[in-house]
Amino acid sequence: MKDITFLHPQFLWLLLIVPLLAGFYFWKRHKLSATLAVSSLQGFKATSSWLTRLRVALFVMRLAAISLLIIALARPRTVNVNNQTKTTRGIDIVMAVDVSSSMLARDLKPNRLAALRNVAARFIENRPNDRIGLVLYAGEAYTRTPVTTDKAILAEAISAIKYDRTLADGTAIGMGLATAVNRLKDSKAKSKVVILLTDGVNNSGMIEPETASDIAKEYGIKVYTIGIGTNGMAEFPYALAPNGDFLFRMMPVEIDQELMKNIARKTDGKYFRATSNSRLSAIYDEINKLEVTEIEELRFYDYDEKYKPLLLIAFALLLAEVLLKQTVFRSFI
């Protein structure tokens, strides 16, 4: 019954007359049967007939039939809903991530790269209908994953983000942005977005950030820039120990916020500053809300009407009542 709905539930109010009819019957039950007045009962043998006791069953059958007819009027039915979604305005997104050694700083826990991996993984899970790519940069830049809808490949690429000396150390913001733009310039998507994250100042690379932002604007690519790092001092890696591990010391956090703001402003994007794990998570949530994919949802309803068996049972009860009245319970008066 939990899956049954009613097309006309207002008819169920008529069920309130059923207890009223039952009360009226039992109030008037002695007057509803035919009677014969005689001067004396002498000569009549007092017997208790089982038919007399069962006569009330006729009225119960009528009440049941009325109840079933009322429920049938309310049109009980079950529904099977099939949903089909169609993306009507897709978005192509490239995340350009700084993987220089400074991203191992411990102002975010356990470090900036680890915090970013957790947040970025959740971000791609929340965008199932978009194509997303990944660009990594330090002193150079390369495409780790082209724009794709394969979230398994993206999840694996995100989890593998680390500082591994594959790229020359440094911060080539212009190279990172230009590589991301190159992945999107031929995209046919209605909206093209780059999420550019860094924790430092542009100090290497053959392409200036301003030039890369001009190219992004020309191709209609919006750039959201994120500066990651606390205000003040943080534990930065500065040298290698004999066992190959990094040594850390407190150093000032330097982020070229003016450059990041200019890139975002020029491309109609927005600049964010992530000073903690929670703030970084909130930034990606905000970007997720700003870039909404338009989806058309089609629903197909398959109704299975349940009133027909109720009608058949009700008419069977009424027919049985009429037949019993004319046969078993027929009165000679």
pLDDT tens per residue, range 254-263: 999 999 999 9
Residues of the chain with pLDDT > 90, as a percent, come to 56
Please state, in angstroms and rounded to a whole number, the distance separating the CA atoms of residues 15 and 261. Answer: 69
Three-class DSSP category at 20: helix
Mean pLDDT of the chain: 87
Lowest mean pLDDT among 165-169, 259-263, 272-276, 292-296: 292-296
Instruction: Give me the half-sphere count of Cα atoms (radius 13 Å) on the Cβ side of residue 215.
Output: 20
Is 48 exposed, middle or buried (CB count within 10 Å of its CB: 0-12, 13-18, 19+)? exposed
252: which 2 tokens? 């000032």
Q: What angle do CA 206, 212, 214 make, to 5 degrees?
A: 140
What are the angstrom distances between the C-alpha of 34 and each of 39, 158, 323, 332?
17, 89, 18, 9
Taking phi first (over 0 means left), then psi (-120 to 50 degrees means alpha), and beta for anything else, what does residue 11 get? Answer: alpha
Helix, coil or strand: residue 215: helix
CB 171 within 8 A of CB 132: no
Q: How many Cα atoms are found within 13 Å in the side-chain-facing hemisphere of 292?
A: 5
The yes-or-no verdict on residue 46 having pLDDT over 70 is no
DSSP per position, 243-283: TSPEEEEEEE----HHHHHHHHHHTT-EEEEE-SHHHHHHH
Summarised one tens digit per residue, pLDDT across range 71-92 is: 989 889 888 877 665 555 679 9
Amino acid, res. 162: K
Model confidence band, residue 161 (pLDDT cutoffs 50, 70, 90): very high
Q: Which tokens is 134 given?
A: 């990944």
Is there a cis peptide before residue 110, judged by omega within 30 degrees of 0?
yes
Termini Cα distance of the chain? 46
Between 205 and 81, name the one with better pLDDT: 205
Would you state the structure tokens that stand for residue 87, as one six-digit string? 């993306």
* Integer angstrom CA distances of residue 141 from 147, 175, 245, 297: 16, 6, 24, 39
**What residue ranges define each of the domains in the chain, with the CATH number in brackets?**
4-81+304-326 (no CATH), 91-292 (3.40.50.410)
Of residues 225 and 46, the one with the higher pLDDT is 225
